[in-house]
């Protein structure tokens, strides 16, 4: 690992505050002006199993966690066995001596559980103990540590502070000040991908969010519900995913700017209504956060196996827009941009992401004023036709209450929205929707649809959350490359990608069959040289990925 990166891993059982400890560690780094990246790994269990959080920090922008850690805190025996191999050269392994018992253990033992038993709910304090050990290792002063605990652990604050101070004092005697971390000039802001999606959609004018909980989109629902009054929106939790998207389409009919969210299994239930949105020309933004599949798969792990599912979503022919952000910061602006696009063109769209992007947290620098505000085409005057056949295929909108007839229809229909099975009407409306798809492409040609990082060396194609891993791998590996990241995958911006024909690029993706590489060949005629794939549910580690990229060179 590069000397400019410091990494911390805390592992333990679900219910011991492991994820919270990772979040607090990331916030600690951000509070002192350092860039940070947090990745949480957890099983689909409420208690027990194995959880860990990996947090990496640097004084420059960092876009991935590192599994080679300077400080590892193991709260139980399983974490000790799994993560002692992740210790960097010269790193520090601290374990809960109460959990491991007597034996010839490597590292430093601290009786975390014995001390926690002096307070109520002892198991919940173990993660706090890991934070105290980290604070000692980096010589984080006592006063700032107390302030951090007051902010991050507001319940039972005095006992939390008392416990943390005891553990920190123990750790200071053993590893105090072993690592010196340079501070930055200003406090940094951390967001998860899901928080960025929520805020970006609100910045564009979101009115109502509908969702049924499903990992990894659940935290969008929780975040917006917790801040609904602050953001001036309504948050609705219907009985299932079918109700979610049908209610959203109904709300859009009334003029509400809506968004829905789910993962693959839940989104499969939405597919019929997604087609309803295509026929009725309903502007609905859908968040599809991929996890490992098919079916239930491994519910809490990441993959990019839903690419084809997203771009071919729905039955029948109608335009849909699918975009996939490459960083948490881009996720904010892309959510706003997608809200704008689905309303501009009155068609459903999908913000395609993955568990790694949705739930990982990283430092961002966002100016909300850069978000696009929704600007739909609104009918003016008298004599309204919901599906007026225009040159662009986009018809003006009108919302109730109105003396005009406003009819959205799931059946094929004429310009007024009246059901029709006449062949000439069917053909006319097919052509109208086709022109709308062409208008989307024409409009997107004036947009920023592809990110390019670097200008020489190896040509690498990637998309979605894997972009973050690739960018960090190039930094740690000192590899010269040009990274090409299509932001939109439907329609794929072939007008930007055709220049790479013949480049034989390396493709990096998280699918077992090379879905993205096949898409590039099919849509843009790009023959791929090497495909680097990972499909075990875990994101790429930048050091390991750098080695694979060198092999490709």
Tens-place pLDDT, residues 464-522: 999 999 999 999 999 999 999 999 999 999 999 999 998 999 999 999 999 999 999 99
Whether 1 shows a pLDDT value over 60: the answer reads no
Domain ranges, ordered by start, for the chain: 5-175, 190-370, 450-552
In percent, the amount of the chain with pLDDT more than 90 equals: 94
Rounded to an integer, the average pLDDT of 321-339 is 98
Which pLDDT score is estimated for 2? 47
Q: How confident is the model at residue 297 (pLDDT cuts 50, 70, 90)?
A: very high
Which pLDDT score is estimated for 229? 97
Full-model pTM: 0.95
484, 507 in Cβ contact below 8 A? Answer: no
Which pLDDT score is estimated for 162? 97
What values do phi and psi take at 140, rounded to 5? Answer: -75, 125
Q: How confident is the model at residue 198 (pLDDT cuts 50, 70, 90)?
A: very high
63, 465 in Cβ contact below 8 A? Answer: no
Strands (E), 75-177: 87-96, 108-110
- Looking at every residue in the chain, the average pLDDT score rounds to 96
Which pLDDT score is estimated for 315? 96
> ∠ CA(481), CA(483), CA(486), 5° rounding?
165
Q: Flag the least confident range among 1-5, 10-14, 153-157, 358-362.
A: 1-5
Which pLDDT score is estimated for 553? 80
Tell me which architecture the domain covering 450-552 has in CATH. 3-Layer(aba) Sandwich (3.40)
Query: 190-370 and 450-552 share one CATH topology?
Result: yes
Rounded to an integer, the average pLDDT of 281-305 is 96
DSSP per residue, 233-297: -EEE--SSHHHHHHHHHHHHHTT--EEEEE-HHHHHHHHHHHHHHHHHT--EEEEEEE-B-STT-
94, 107 in Cβ contact below 8 A? Answer: yes
Q: Flag the least confident range among 197-211, 372-386, 409-423, 534-548.
A: 372-386
Superfamily of domain 190-370: Thiamin diphosphate (ThDP)-binding fold, Pyr/PP domains (3.40.50.970)
Superfamily of domain 5-175: Pyruvate-ferredoxin oxidoreductase, PFOR, domain III (3.40.920.10)
Cis ω for the linkage preceding 294 (within 30 of 0): yes
Q: How confident is the model at residue 370 (pLDDT cuts 50, 70, 90)?
A: confident
Which pLDDT score is estimated for 103? 85
Tens digit of pLDDT for each residue in 112-148? 999 999 999 898 899 999 999 999 999 999 999 999 9
In percent, the amount of the chain with pLDDT more than 70 equals: 99
Tens digit of pLDDT for each residue in 43-67? 998 888 899 999 999 999 999 999 9
**Rounded CA gap, 188 and 252, in Å?**
37
Which pLDDT score is estimated for 59? 96
């Amino acid at each position: 690992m590069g000397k400019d990166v410091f990494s911390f891993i805390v592992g333990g059982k679900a219910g011991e505050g492991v994820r919270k400890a990772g979040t607090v560690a990331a916030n600690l780094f951000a509070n002192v002006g350092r860039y940070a990246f947090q990745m949480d790994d957890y099983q689909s269990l409420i208690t027990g199993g194995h959880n860990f959080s990996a947090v990496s920090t640097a004084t420059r922008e960092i876009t991935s966690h590192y599994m080679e850690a300077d400080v590892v805190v193991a709260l139980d025996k399983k974490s000790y066995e799994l993560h002692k191999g992740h210790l960097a050269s010269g790193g520090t392994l601290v374990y809960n001596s109460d959990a491991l018992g007597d034996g010839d253990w490597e590292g430093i033992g601290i009786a975390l559980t014995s001390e926690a038993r002096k307070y109520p709910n002892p198991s919940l304090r173990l993660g706090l103990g890991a934070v105290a050990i980290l604070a000692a290792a980096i010589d984080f002063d006592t006063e700032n540590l107390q302030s951090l605990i007051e902010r991050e652990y507001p319940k039972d604050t005095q006992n939390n502070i008392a416990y943390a101070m005891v553990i920190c004092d123990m750790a200071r005697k053993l590893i105090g000040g072993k690592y010196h971390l340079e501070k930055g000039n200003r406090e940094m802001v951390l967001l998860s991908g899901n928080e960025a999606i929520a805020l970006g959609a609100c910045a564009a004018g979101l009115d109502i969010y509908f969702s049924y909980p499903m990992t990894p989109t659940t935290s969008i629902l929780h975040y917006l519900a917790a801040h609904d009054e602050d953001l001036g929106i309504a948050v609705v939790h219907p009985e299932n995913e079918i109700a979610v998207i049908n209610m959203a389409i109904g709300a859009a009919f009334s003029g509400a700017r809506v968004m829905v969210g789910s993962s693959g299994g839940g989104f499969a239930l939405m597919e019929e209504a997604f087609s309803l949105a295509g026929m009725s020309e309903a502007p609905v933004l859908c968040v599809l956060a991929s996890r490992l599949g098919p079916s239930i798969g491994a519910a809490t792990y990441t993959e990019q196996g839903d690419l084809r599912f997203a771009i071919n979503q729905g039955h029948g022919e109608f335009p849909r827009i699918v975009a996939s952000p490459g960083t948490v910061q881009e996720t904010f602006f892309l959510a706003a941009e997608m809200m704008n696009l689905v309303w501009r063109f009155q068609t459903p769209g999908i913000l395609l992401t993955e568990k790694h992007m949705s739930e990982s947290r990283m430092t961002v620098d966002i100016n909300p004023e850069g978000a696009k505000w929704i600007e739909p085409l609104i009918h003016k005057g008298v004599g309204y036709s919901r599906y007026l056949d225009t040159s662009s295929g986009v018809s003006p909108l009108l919302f109730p209450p109105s003396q005009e007839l406003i009819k959205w229809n799931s059946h094929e229909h004429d310009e007024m929205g009246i059901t029709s099975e006449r062949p000439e009407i069917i053909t006319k409306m097919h052509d109208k929707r086709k022109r709308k798809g062409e208008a989307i492409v024409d409009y997107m040609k004036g947009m920023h649809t592809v990110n390019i990082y670097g200008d020489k060396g190896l040509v690498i194609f990637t998309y979605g959350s894997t972009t973050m891993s690739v960018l960090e791998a190039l930094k740690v590996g000192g590899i010269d490359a040009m990274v090409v990241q299509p932001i939109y995958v439907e329609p794929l911006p072939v007008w930007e990608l055709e220049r790479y024909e013949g480049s034989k690029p390396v493709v990096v993706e998280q699918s077992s069959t090379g879905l993205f590489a096949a898409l590039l060949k099919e849509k843009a005629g790009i023959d791929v040289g090497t495909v680097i794939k990972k499909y075990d549910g875990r994101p790429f580690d930048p050091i390991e990925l750098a080695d694979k990229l060198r092999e490709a060179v």
